[in-house]
Amino acid sequence: MNNEAIRNFGGEKYPEVGTTEVRRKIGEELRSARKFLDLSIEDVSTLIKVNVLYLENIENGKWGFLPPTYVKAFIQAIAKCLQLQSRDFDKRLDEMFDKVITGATFAKTGHIEDETEVFKPGQLFAWAEKHRAIIFYSLIGVVFIVLIGLWLTNPNRSPDRIAQNLLAEKEKPVSQPVIETKTDTVSADIKIEDKVKLTPAPVDNTYPFVIFATDTCYVKVAQDDSIIYERTLWPRNRITRKLDGTVKVTLGNPSGVRLIVNNDSLPTFPPGRRVRVIRVNKDGIVS
């Protein structure tokens, strides 16, 4: 469309939106805001990439040069550029444009239709293309949250299940070595068995001692005057020691600790006591 056609609107004129008084008032608001910011109409055209003749017609209240949807978009772009856009301004535009009947549909078909209820799939694809980065990172965030939720809700990671697995590992049967005896034939009637001297295994007085933290707690294990272990444990931390004799165990937040002595799980401590000192040997809690 050449400039002369834009000025005269040619023979295919779109219907004007609202009343002449309302269009004139909005046009004056846009012109006053532009002059207040000391901007020429060419400056606004350069900023929002809209033809100068379109801007002139909008300020003069002559909005029939394009379909109403385009005119509304141009007005919103101008208002945003001139810092005039507000909730009240947008509400007024919506009230004017939401139920506009376009003259282009009537000119082609002879029937008047309300374009506001027509679905335009191109708008959805255009929005998705414009915001594809937001959509991409949102999908990554959703997948990450789902994976974290699955990891946290895994029943195999619960403190009770871990303690049960520890006990199950300790209770596995240990195969006993098979001792074979060697025989020599001295004669057809006599067999002499070699005497195998079995050295008795030394008595092992050691026992396994496991501490598993279900909550943040302080643990100190001492024997006589020497400290065997001392540390603050976090939830799911576990320590395993091979001990001999009786040891003194100091527990801060004892209710957050599970003790397994000589493959036996000791009773849990009730909440309420911040520090507890116990003595433990291979038979369990001594005192």
3-126: CATH topology: 434 Repressor (Amino-terminal Domain) (1.10.260)
Q: Which amino acid is at 170?
A: K
Look at residue 122 in the predicted model and tell me its pLDDT. 57
Is residue 110 over pLDDT 70? no
Q: Using alpha carbons only, give the angle 254, 259, 261 rounded to the nearest 5 degrees.
A: 145
- The yes-or-no verdict on residue 257 having pLDDT over 80 is yes
Question: pLDDT grade, residue 202 (50/70/90)?
Answer: low
- The upper half-sphere exposure of residue 7, i.e. CA atoms within 13 Å in the direction of its Cβ, equals 3
Closest CA to 35 of 52, 59, 57: 59
Q: What percent of the chain has pLDDT over 90?
A: 3
Measure Cα distances from 261 to 164, 253, 256 in Å. Answer: 13, 19, 17
For the chain, the residue count is 287
Closest CA relative to residue 66, chosen from 4, 123, 2, 9: 9
Range with the poorest average pLDDT among 117-121, 208-212, 214-218: 117-121
Sorted by where each begins, the domain ranges of the chain are 3-126, 204-285
* Structure confidence at residue 118 as a pLDDT band (50, 70, 90): very low
Q: Which of 69, 67, 66, 57 is nearest to 26 (CA)?
A: 57
